[in-house]
Structure 1
Amino acid sequence: MRELSVIGIGAGDPDQVTMQAVKAMRRAEAFFVIGKGAEKRELVEVRTAILAEYVEGPHRIIEITDPPRDRTPEDYTGVVQDWHERRAELLEAAFEQVDGVGAILVWGDPALYDSTLRMIEHVLARGRVDFDYTVIPGVTSIAALAARHRVVLHRIGEPVHVTTGRKLREQGLGTGSTVVMLDGDTSFTEVPGDDIHIWWGAYLGMPDETLIAGNLREVEHEIVTRRAQLRANKGWIMDVYLLRAF
């Protein structure tokens, strides 16, 4: 039976790759890499560099072009589900080229705001390719953010709410501390209050890593401006931030 390893590789720093991940990579004969276009080619190049550093034997890289999706839909859930199905079709076709062990390198951790595991379940449900799979956890951007800012994600006995920019706009801050991912609209600028602290980071673990922290009202303009500059320079951006009221 074919095997598939879903391997979390951390937030961008090759040193964040765990020994468990390295062992799993060394077992694979082919790696599926989902490309996101020319602007985000660097994300593919980081994965390729990780393989070059840790995988000694011969291996193949099978690149899959990520299908486009509507970024401003009325039916967000329906659009994402359709996107997952189209991704599953592409992975299925790629996996048919492998007889032994394949692997997918996942940014951060496969269990947190990533569609890879759902995509794999779609492939299995289709029934054309039979395989077993294992999941290797990775360092999340949340853990990297806290480490780089040298901050604990929560105060004593308090919860941590992990959400998206979309949900932050709809629901506001959660109880305790709030970590926000996938925020393309700088939703923190819509959070009311003068007693909120923000710890923000972009390209964590990468050469262009950028960190800003402070009272939200005092640094929000700096973050918005810097974020726009970074995105314009690279054509893409990956950022995450922690909010906490005092």
Structure 2
Amino acid sequence: MRKLYVIGIGAGDPDHVTLQAVKAMRRVEAFFVIGKGEAKQELIAVRTAILDEHMDRPYRIVPIDDPPRDRTPIDYPGVVEDWHDRRSALLESAFAEVEGVGGILVWGDPALYDSTLRMVERVLARGAVTFDYAVIPGITSAQALAARHRMVLHGIGEPVHITTGRRLREEGLGAEGALVMLDGDCSFTAIPGDDVHIWWGAYLGMPDETLIEGSLSEVRDEIVRRRTELRDRKGWIMDIYLLRRGG
């Protein structure tokens, strides 16, 4: 039976890769990489650098073109479901051509705001390709953000609320604050900031890592300006931030 490893590789620093992940990578013969277009070739380059750092033998990369989707849909769940289905069909076709052990390198951890495991389950459900798979956890951008800002994500005895920019816009900021991912619209700008503190980070673990921290009312414009500059220069951005009332 074919084997597939879904490997969390951290936020971009090759040193984020765990020993368990290195051992799994060294069992893989072909790595499936879903591309994001010419502007995001750097994301593939980072994966390649991680492999070059840790692999002890030659390896093969199998590129897969990411199917397009509407980024501002009215029916968000429906559009994402269709996108996952088309992605899984492409993975199925690619994996069918590989006789040995396959691998997928996932930013951060495969279990946190990532669609890879859902995609793999869809391939299995269709039954055209049979395989076993293992999931290797990785360091998340949430952990990297906390470490780089040298702070704790929650108050004493309080929960950690992890959400998306879309949900923050819809629901607002709760009493305990929120760790916000997948926010392409700078949703924090809609939050009254007089008593809110923000810890923001972009490209965590990469050479272009950028950190800003302070009272939301004082630094929100700086974050928007810096984020726009970085995205315009690189063509892509991955960022995350923590909002907390009372600092």
- TM-score tier by shorter-chain length is over 0.9
> Which shifted more, 58-67 or 129-138?
58-67
| SS of equivalent to 2:161 | strand
How far is the alpha carbon of 1:136 from its aligned partner? 0.2
Letter in 2 for 1:126: R
Question: Whole-Å Cα distance in 2 between the matches of residues 226 and 53 of structure 1?
Answer: 31
TM-score, length-scaled by structure 2: 0.98
> Does the CA-based 8 Å contact 1:159-1:175 persist in structure 2?
no
CA contact (8 A) 2:40 2:236 kept: yes
Q: Secondary structure at the match of 1:212?
A: strand
In 2, Cα distance between equivalents of 1:236 and 1:31: 23
Does residue 60 of structure 2 align to residue 73 of structure 1? no
- Structure 1 stretches (4+) deviating beyond 3 angstroms? none
Aligned to 1:6: 6
Distance in 1 between the 2:220 and 2:193 partners?
12
In the TM superposition, residue 193 of structure 1 has moved relative to its aligned partner by 4.0
- 1:1-246 alignment, distance < 5 Å: 1-246=1-246
Q: Distance in 2 between matches of 1:182 and 1:161?
A: 14
Counterparts of 1:193 and 1:216, CA distance in 2: 5
Amino acid at match of 1:91: L
SS of the aligned residue for 1:100 comes to coil
Contact 2:182 2:239 survives alignment (8 Å)? yes
Range that drifts further, 53-62 or 34-43: 53-62
Report the 3-state secondary structure (helix = DSSP H, G, I; strand = E; otherwise coil) of the residue aligned with 1:160.
coil
Query: CA contact under 8 A between 1:161 and 1:175: conserved in structure 2?
Result: no
Letter in 2 for 1:92: E
- TM-score scaled by structure 1? 0.99
Deviates more, 1:138-147 or 1:187-196: 187-196
Corresponding pairs, count: 246
Distance 2:100 2:232 in 1: 42
Bigger drift between 148-157 and 95-104 goes to 95-104
Cα distance in 2 for partners of 1:9, 1:137 equals 8
Gaps of 5+ in 2: none
| 8 Å contact from structure 2 (residues 193, 215) kept in 1 | no
1:142-198 per-position Cα deviation (integer Å, ceiling 9, x unaligned): 000000000000010011110000000000113413100000000001012410000
Cα offsets for 1:47-72 (capped at 9, x unmatched): 01111111111221001010010001
Instruction: Please state how far the C-alpha of 1:5 moved relative to its aligned partner.
Output: 0.3
Identity among equivalent pairs (%): 74
Counterparts of 1:73 and 1:223 in 2: how far apart (Å)?
Answer: 26
Alpha-carbon shift at residue 76 of structure 1 (Å): 0.3
